[in-house]
Structure formats: structure tokens, C-alpha cells
Structure 1
Amino acid sequence: MKSQGFAASLPRLIIFPATLLAMSICTTAAFAQNKLYSPIPLTTTSSEFSDTLSDKDIPTGQGGYARDYSVKLTKGDNLAVDLSSDNFDSIITLLSPNGTTLAENDDGPDGTSNSLLFTRIAETGNYIIRVRSFGETGVGNFKLKVTKLQPIK
């Protein structure tokens, strides 16, 4: 009788630790995903700064890399985003709170490979400003200027 009781409890001993292991793996994977993607927050919508795009950033699948910045915008905001780099051909993209592309610019009006984007915000939320290099043009230093434009009165 004792051997049957031991055998009957054996599967529970195996299943319980396996369940804990599976929960541990899922939790670890979730934390790893959060660490892998965390856009850099912009605290003000009128800022100009320098940064560096590197091979440690988001691979685009086209040989280039991307770096994301999050910014809180309000319905009716008029936004200007200016991206310039002497190291790579830049592209600027604005992603809506649901992840769709709202606006994108490859080459600015000055004939250079710098990017300039103007748009009006249709809904309040957290947006992503994505800085990336065109194709395999690489990595390097860039300047990003994000400005919330004021309406003319």
C-alpha cells in the first residue's frame, strides 16, 4: 500500500515543479521583452539634443538601425520634428499610440539627406518618434529637434 501511495503522488511532484518552471520562464521572458524595447521618454515637446544611432539599437531588417523616443501629445498639437546627421541618411517616422505610421520623411526640403516632418495631432496619447537610417547607410551621431508649434494669433 505504501508503494502505491508513493507512486500516486509522484506525478504531482513532477507536474508541480514543471508548472513553476514554466511560470518562471514566461515571467523572465516578459521582463526581457520590456528591457529589449523601451523608447526613450522626451519630457518636453520643445527640445533639441544630440544622440547616437548604433548597432545596439533596433535592427530595421534593411541593414540599418532605429532608435525610438516616446512623447505625450494632445489633440490639436502642431508638431515639427527635425532630424539631421552627417553620418547617415536619416528617416524620421511618427507612430500613433496604436503603432500605425502617421507621418514619415526621408529627405528634407533643403536637398540634403536630413529629415523634416510637420503634422497636426488628431488624438491625445503617447506617440513614438522613430529615428532611423536609410537602408544600410549605417550608424552615427545625429541631432533631433522636436517642437510643438504655437498657433498664430
Structure 2
Amino acid sequence: MNRPDVQEALHANVTRLTHDWEPCSDVIQKWVDSPSTIIPHLKELMANGLQVWIFSGDIDGRVPVTSTKYSINKMKLPIKTAWHPWFLTKDQVGGYTQVYEGDLTFATVREAGHQVPSYQPARAFSLIKHFLEGKPLPDISRHN
């Protein structure tokens, strides 16, 4: 993330920060403007017809999968596609997913921690690719 070619490709660090990017830092000492929940924001996005994908690394110790599932359950959304594995390749499970009415997809990423792309770049890429293409995650019959 500190390489100039990567920053250029991401349109990042255009202001030329005086410190390098790092996964965790002490640059922000106190963060006090965080909402207690983002559920109202998710509902607003969905009400405006936008697809919403929430993903969690299945070994994330900071925001565990169960915590994310509890939050989604508070929205009381009907299930459109039941919990099932998604595949990175024909024989490699990328994680598990469930789709809710209102275009909300929840996906886990197998063997990924809090910063999913750092742990599982290929699985993270597949997740983002399918989101941007507006396609569901590949199941056993669609493993592309």
C-alpha cells in the first residue's frame, strides 16, 4: 500500500501524507464520532435500491461472524437464498453466504481475519469481483 504504483492505481494518498500506510496505527488517538450501529444506513441504502454486501473473515477476533449475524438478524429480513458455501475454485470453499430480501448479501471468507484482503487476497478479490459484477458468489454449480 506504500508503493507509488499501487497508490496511483487506487487513487490513494493524493495529498502525499507524511506517514506510511500501515494496517493499524496510532495516528488517530481518539475516535468519538462513530455511530453505535450502521443498521439505519444499511436500510437507507437498500431502500434506494442499492445492493449491500457485508463480509467477515471467519477467524476475525475483532468483529466475529456471530456478531455480524446478530446485527443482520436485528433487521428481520426474510431470507432469499439460504446459508451455503461459496467456491473460489471447483473444489475450494471460499466461505459461506446468505442472501436476504432487499439485496443484502452476507458472506464469510474462510481463513481470513479482520483485514480480509491481507489474509486471503484471492478470496477477497473473488468477493469484490462478484459484487462489482452484480453476480452472486459461485456455488457448487457456478465456480468461475
Structure showing the higher strand proportion among its residues? 1
* TM, length-normalised to structure 1: 0.23
* TM, length-normalised to structure 2: 0.24
Relative CO higher for 1 or 2, CA cutoff 8 Å, sep ≥ 6?
1
